[in-house]
Structure 1
């Protein structure tokens, strides 16, 4: 990794640059500043390519961290640099400390820190790439775990749905038994009425026959 892989960096609040560092001259400082003016305010990471360089930005909680790198540096080194700068800046000036430090104080104090982080990332590319691979593996494992948790939760919902269906079936079965009991009672009463009617008809026929044969009640 060449000495010029990272060539310019700054920390800003909104669109105001608080501290910056570079050992080189060029129009990259103007381009980086112009891009800063157009960045969305939401927390995110952005990378722009221009004239063989990448302009990398990390926006978080109203602060913007930038590093300009040659394209051959890739994306991992610049983004690792921005994460290191963000963490260091937040520890030093978080919670409103940036306002009390003053513009000149920030430039004097944090400008050299930008140089230190830049040099570290330039000198330790293999270590950074290894850490990036570990983070990527952790993210993959986390993604698999979240997917499994979602499957378990989804299975739990299906189990609950099955329990609900079982309860509904029990309720329906109970209603069916109740309706069956009522229907059997109704049919029993209906059958008893028919039997009584038939019995009454038989008794009446017997009485008619007896009365006809005996010419009244003379047989008794």
Structure 2
């Protein structure tokens, strides 16, 4: 039984491991989920793949790639593709920072100190952008479905001995559909970027307004400068 966690939370615990040794981890809760995740890690196949285990209304999701294992423990209500999206982001960021053997030369303690807060940031990002991730996942699923249909049609066409020209036309049409879905994914990512920029601009505008309001309230408009000028002019000269 999984003990610990908090009602309403999405991700409970996450770590990055090399083989079976945990290099960096993060959690805000107490419980036995790290021990259960470690047991699952011991049983993971070494091949590059994605794995999900369920235990007591929680899912233990793993992404294995090039000898490293990325794990996140999530509430059972969190869709699997959302957890996998989190692990993909975690893998890309970790490889960017510690690729090329850098992780092999660094100690687990220093890695955990540096990358633990990064895991937290990725958790927050996934929760805040769940809607956009859902749209991107749907687009990817549609592209994958089209690829499967394309391959299936090619196999059937070969079996029936259809003309190569007809086969090329069908393949071109399916490829065009796949490109349309990729364009949709690009639009979604652009929309996410614009949304983030709008938020930043709004925050800057609010900060500017607050500073302006404080300045006006203290100085009562431009009276500060005027009063200071008058004070300087009213000082009598010393004989």
TM-score (norm: length of structure 2):
0.61
Counterpart residue number, 1:118: 123
Which of residues 68, 71, 79 in structure 2 aligns to 1:74?
79
Q: Which has the higher contact order (CA 8 A, sep 6+)?
A: 1
TM-score (norm: length of structure 1):
0.66
Counterpart residue number, 1:37: 42
Deviation at 1:85, TM superposition (A): 0.6
Counterpart residue number, 1:136: 141
Deviation at 1:72, TM superposition (A): 1.0
- Number of equivalences: 158
Show structure 2 runs of 5+ residues with no match: 1-6, 165-239
Deviation at 1:3, TM superposition (A): 5.5
What secondary structure is seen at the aligned counterpart in 1 of 2:105?
Answer: helix
- Whether 1:61 and 2:66 are equivalent positions in the alignment is yes
Deviation at 1:119, TM superposition (A): 0.7
CA gap 1:156/1:5 in 2 versus in 1, 3 angstroms: same
Given that 1:7 and 1:68 are in contact with CA atoms closer than 8 Å, whether structure 2 keeps it comes out as: yes
What secondary structure is seen at the aligned counterpart in 1 of 2:70?
Answer: strand
What secondary structure is seen at the aligned counterpart in 2 of 1:4?
Answer: coil
Given that 1:56 and 1:79 are in contact with CA atoms closer than 8 Å, whether structure 2 keeps it comes out as: yes
Show structure 1 runs of 5+ residues with no match: 160-220
Deviation at 1:135, TM superposition (A): 0.5
Deviation at 1:113, TM superposition (A): 1.0
**Equivalent residue runs for 1:10-49 within 5 Å:** 10-49=15-54
Residues 60-105 of structure 1 show CA distances to partners (whole Å, capped at 9, x for unaligned) of 1110000000101121211110111111112222221211232222
Larger Rg: 1
Which of residues 89, 93, 98 in structure 1 aligns to 2:94?
89
> What is the CA RMSD across the aligned residues, in angstroms?
2.1
Given that 1:3 and 1:122 are in contact with CA atoms closer than 8 Å, whether structure 2 keeps it comes out as: no
